[in-house]
Structure 1
C-alpha cells in the first residue's frame, strides 16, 4: 500500500466481515481489495478505540484530530526509526522510507506464505523495470489464518 493511499484511507474502507480486508482506491483510480492479517485487525481495533470520534472521515488522524498527511506519516516513521536505531544500530546506516516499508511488507508476505512469486506476463512485463507479483485467492486466505 502506498503512503498516500494509507493517509487518505476512509474508516469505511475497512470491511470486517466475512473476511477482514481493506478497499483501496489506488493509482489510476483502480480499486483493490487487500486482505488484513489477524494482528493488523487487532491493531486497527485498538487504534479505533484510541482515535475516538474525530470529525475527519480518514482512518488515521493526527493529535489535533485532522487527517494525517504524508509528511506527518514520515515524521512519525523517522521518530520511530531513530528510537529503534538506539537498540539496532544497523538502522543508522539504512534509509527507511514509506516506500521501503511498502516493499518490505510485500517481501514478508511472499516469504511467510511460501507462495511462489509468479510474474505477470504480457507486453507490460517487457517494459516494466520490476515484475508484478500475484497469488491465487486460496493462497491469500491460507496466509491470513
Structure 2
C-alpha cells in the first residue's frame, strides 16, 4: 500500500493477504477505483489527519461505555503508532526495521517511541544472571521486610 505521509513523503507498507482481501472488498463496496482515496469523507475528499482523530475519539467514547478501563484515557493516533512500535519491538523486530516501518529518516528518531517495558528489562537481566542462580524477581524474606518496616 502506498500513501502520502507527514511532510508529503510517500510511504509504502506491506499488507497481509487477509488485509488486502478486506481492502479489496471495501473498494468494491464503495464503487471506487484503486487510485481513489481509500477513506474519503462524505464529500469525497481524502480523510484528513484531524478527521481520523475525530473518528477515533468518537469510537473511543463508544468503546468506553463497554470497557470501563478506557474511561478517562487519552487515546490518539500517535498512541496507536507508539503501541504498534512497541508490539514490533516486543516481537523481536529490529529497531532499524521499526524505523523504516514508521517512516523515520534516521534510526535515532525511533528511540523516542521505543521504551523497554518491565518484561523486556527482566529478560535482559535474566541473560546476565550468574551461573547457578535462578532467574527472576528477588523475593525478600518476611524477616527482612519486617526489619525494613521498623526503620
**Smaller-chain TM-score range?**
0.5 to 0.7
Deviation at 1:29, TM superposition (A): 5.3
Superposition pairs for residues 82-101 of structure 1, below 5 Å? 82-101=61-80
Deviation at 1:100, TM superposition (A): 0.9
RMSD: 3.4
Give, in whole Å, the separation in 2 of the partners of 1:39 and 1:47.
Answer: 13
Aligned to 2:130: none
Secondary structure in structure 1 of the residue aligned to 2:13: strand
Q: Which runs of 5+ in 2 are unaligned?
A: 100-105, 115-151
Give, in whole Å, the separation in 2 of the partners of 1:58 and 1:71.
Answer: 16
Deviation at 1:42, TM superposition (A): 2.9
Deviations 1:63-87 (A, max 9, x none): 3323212222122111111111111
- The TM-score with structure 1 as length reference comes to 0.55
Aligned to 1:53: 32
Q: Alpha carbons of 1:86 and 1:106: their partners in 2 closer, same or farther (altered >3 Å)?
A: same
Aligned to 2:92: 114
How many residue pairs align between the two structures?
Answer: 106
Q: In the alignment, is the contact (CA less than 8 A) between 2:2 and 2:10 conserved in 1?
A: yes
Runs of 4+ in 1 over 3 A off after TM superposition: 24-32, 116-120
- The TM-score with structure 2 as length reference comes to 0.53
Superposition pairs for residues 1-145 of structure 1, below 5 Å? 22-27=1-6, 30-53=9-32, 57-111=36-90, 113-117=91-95, 125=108, 128=109, 130=111
Structure with higher RCO (Cα < 8 A, 6+ apart): 1
Q: Alpha carbons of 1:38 and 1:114: their partners in 2 closer, same or farther (altered >3 Å)?
A: farther
Secondary structure in structure 2 of the residue aligned to 1:130: helix
Give, in whole Å, the separation in 2 of the partners of 1:25 and 1:64.
Answer: 20
Q: Which runs of 5+ in 1 are unaligned?
A: 1-21, 134-145
Q: Alpha carbons of 1:129 and 1:43: their partners in 2 closer, same or farther (altered >3 Å)?
A: closer
